[in-house]
Structure formats: structure tokens, C-alpha cells
Amino acid sequence: MDQPSSAMALQYREAMSKVAAAVFVVTTEGSAGRYGITLTAVTSVTDTPPTLLLCINRNARIQPILRANRQLCVNVLATTQQDVAEHFAGMTSIPATERFLQNEWQNHQHTTQPQLVGALAHLHGHIIDSHDMGSHSVFYIAIEHIHLNSQENQGLVYFQRQFAQTTALTYQTSYG
């Protein structure tokens, strides 16, 4: 028996909460302004050429800004940056206009996009394609510049609607 679509949507969201996901803050700056959003729906498409996929709710305030600016930075958050994730997700009382004032940001020397100091990685790129799928827009991002933070190795994840941290994993191989 088919379930009503709203019940299916609730079940789907609950099922997806069981999937641990890395936490990102996507930022953009340009003629349409400066804005950022916390996302977990970010994934690699291919490494040749380096391309990411982002899924963003069609009602999100960043949509028209991102579409106009076309340039962005995907900041991969470290465990110490949960407050940043909360601010850019709108989980705090910090207004959108003040979110960039709460932590240390710098503009990338080539792309001028805001990047969070101390993030695990910064991936700078531009939108090469997008399409709408249900309640979300899917953006394909061509990556042009990458910075890796070699001093930080613990990532922030989101699991069962809570932030959690990864730990550095070590592997031991035993030979018998």
C-alpha cells in the first residue's frame, strides 16, 4: 500500500538522519552580496576535473545570491567550528548580516570568496550547471582552487540531527 507523500517525506528525512554527513559552510561574495549557508548535502562528482555537487533548498535565502554571484567557497568544517555551523544554519540568534563577524574569515587571494580560517579544507569554484529536483536545486561546481589545512584533522559531522566529531583513525594491519 502506498503511503501519503507527506508521510513518505517524513520517513525519508528520518532515514537520512541515520546517515552521518560531513558539515560544510558554503560562502559566496559578489555583485549580489555576501552570504553563507551550512550544508551536509555536498558530495564529490569526479576528480577529473574536480567537481562537487551541492543540494540546496529552493526556498533558501542563498539561492538568488549564489545564482547571481556564480562563485563560491566550500569550507569543510573542523570539530572546533560547530558554532560556525550553527550560525550559518540559523540555529542561533545571530542575524545573517552578522554571521561573518563571529569568526575569522579571509578572502581568497584569487577568487575573493570568503574562507573560514582553520577549516579542514577550502574548495573554491564556480557553478557550471544546476537543475531543480523537487524541493531542492542541485548545483554542479567546478573546483578551481583547493587549500588543505595540514594542522587540523578532526572533522565535524551531523548524525541523527546532532553535531558530532570524527577522530583521527589509525589502521593496524596484522599478518599471520
Residue range(s) defining the domain that contains residue 25: 21-39+60-75
In a domain, 109, yes or no: no
Domain count, the chain: 1
Over range 19-23, report the average pLDDT: 91
> What is the residue type of 59?
N
pLDDT band at 172 (very low <50, low <70, confident <90, very high): low
Give per-residue pLDDT as tens, 110-166. Answer: 989 999 999 999 999 999 999 999 999 999 999 999 999 988 778 999 988 999 887
Please answer whether residues 20 and 161 qualify as being in contact, where contact means their C-beta atoms are separated by less than 8 angstroms.
Answer: no
pTM score: 0.90
pLDDT at 50 over 90: yes
pLDDT band at 56 (very low <50, low <70, confident <90, very high): very high
In a domain, 95, yes or no: no
In a domain, 94, yes or no: no
Position 117 scores a pLDDT of 96
Which are the contacts of 83, defined by CB distance < 8 A and separation ≥ 6? 92, 102, 103
In sign, the C-alpha dihedral spanning 92, 93, 94, 97 is positive
Question: Cα-atom radius of gyration of the chain, to the nearest Å?
Answer: 17
Position 63 scores a pLDDT of 97
In a domain, 169, yes or no: no
In a domain, 137, yes or no: no
Q: Which residues pair with 132 in a beta bridge?
A: 137
Rounded distance, CA 76 to CA 74, Å?
A: 6
- From the list 149, 154, 151, 148, the residue with the least C-alpha distance to 167 is 154
pLDDT at 20 over 90: no
Give per-residue pLDDT as tens, 75-84. Answer: 999 999 999 9
Classify each residue of 84-93 as buried b or exposed e, where b means 16 or more C-beta atoms within 10 Å of its C-beta.
Answer: bbebbbeeee
In a domain, 9, yes or no: no
pLDDT at 88 over 60: yes
- From the list 80, 133, 99, the residue with the least C-alpha distance to 26 is 99
In a domain, 87, yes or no: no
In a domain, 122, yes or no: no
